[in-house]
Amino acid sequence: MCGIAGVIFRDGYGPVGQVLVEMLGALQHRGFDSAGVAVYNCIGSRDGDTYILRTVTADVVGALGKVTTALGEMGADIRSVEMKPVHGLSFDRFVIKYRGSLRDLIDAVNKTGVAKVISIGRCVEVYKMTGLVSDLEESFNVSALHGSHGIGHVRFSTESTVDLFHAHPFQSTLNPDIAVVHNGQITNYWKMRAFLERQGVSFLTDNDSELIVHYIAWLLEQGYSLEEALKRSVRDLDGPFAYIIATPDAIGIARDRLGLRPLIAAESLDGNVIIAASEEAALHAASRLLGVRFHTRYLRPGQVMVWRLEK
């Protein structure tokens, strides 16, 4: 039982972080293991070779030097570095120019032994940690983050490890600006994972939620639209699930064929703001915060929905 939330301001800008914190706070009872958000700011974003790389680095002498050396050896041109100490670790943010394989770059950083990659993207940044939504907010001031859209998650672990890297949201190295949050289980995980690995897709964890983002990213690479990819995922993935997925210009939601996991969406009366979550409590929290009235929709079993930015 996890809690998922998403918001999109279709005109391209709004208090995404604050909305997600309020929504996730209302869903906190659904999971206490970890919390995380992905916030998008893609309008007027950087060129295709510029990435935001976020890492967690050990607080030891020379650690940052090892990471910058690894990035340099991979051909990454470091444009800026910001360090954020949290509980004896450093959450570092690099802006880099890079044209090579993202998976190779991630492997190079992870192999330093002093740092691991949390996220990489052109116009998305992921903030996540073990603990509560309040811990996430205290550490990273998520409420101050503005953007066009975002997704969030509170986790109750039923299978895989509880740590920073099994926390949601998950990204795909096929397209790093796609992220997903998920509630439920994918019961044909190993079969679908084997299929994707035969297509050359690499997995970073054994969390079944990671499968969803890789599968959608792979379908998009094959030429499917986001709506088509979501519909195919509902057909091909087994088990009880609901998920919210974000791309640079859209948010999509999907519910399993039997409707075994809840998912609710709501649209403001002017059509500019759309929110989605596991429970109505999160929608009410967003409505109170924004002072906006919403028209609520309950997803039917097997239903998918997509909303895009207007710009």
Domain boundary among 63, 88, 122: 122
Q: Of the residues 77, 93, 122, which one is the last residue of a structural domain?
A: 122
- Structural tokens at position 233: 């995922």
One-character DSSP codes across 77-109:
EEEEEEEEEETTEEEEEEEEE--S-HHHHHHHH
pLDDT in tens, 177-216: 999 999 999 999 999 999 999 999 999 899 999 999 999 9
Q: Give the DSSP H or E segment for 187.
A: none
- Say whether both 58 and 194 belong to one domain: no
Q: Are residues 190 and 296 in the same domain?
A: yes
Q: Is 189 helix (H, G, I), strand (E, B) or coil?
A: helix
Tell me the average pLDDT across 34-38.
96
Give the integer Cα–Cα distance in Å for 134 and 139.
9
Same domain, 170 and 25: yes
Lowest-pLDDT choice from 5-19, 42-56, 170-184, 201-215: 42-56
Domain hosting residue 166, numbered range: 3-45+127-308
Q: How far is residue 79 from each of residues 49, 53, 114, 131, 155, measured CA to CA in Å?
A: 12, 11, 21, 32, 34
pLDDT tens readout for residues 140-149: 999 999 999 9
Same domain membership, residue 54 and residue 23: no
If asked whether residues 170 and 291 sit together in one domain, one would say yes
CATH number of the domain that residue 110 is part of: 3.30.70.260
Element (H, E) at 216: helix 208-221
pLDDT band at 166 (very low <50, low <70, confident <90, very high): confident
Do 236 and 228 form a contact (C-beta atoms < 8 A)? no
> Is there a single domain that holds both residue 172 and residue 277?
yes
Structure-token match 């998650």, residue found = 153
SS3 state at 76? coil
Catalytic-role residue among 2, 179, 204, 244 = 2
**Statement to judge: residues 107 and 247 lie in one domain:** no
Residues 105, 230, single domain; the answer is: no
Co-location of 281 and 226 in the same domain: yes
Q: Which of 3, 6, 298, 22 is nearest to 151 (CA)?
A: 6
Last-in-domain residue among 78, 95, 122: 122
pLDDT in tens, 86-106: 888 899 999 999 999 999 999
Angle between helix axes 63-73 and 102-110 (nearest 10 degrees) is 150
**pTM of the entire predicted model:** 0.95
2 is catalytic: yes
How many domains does the chain fold into?
2
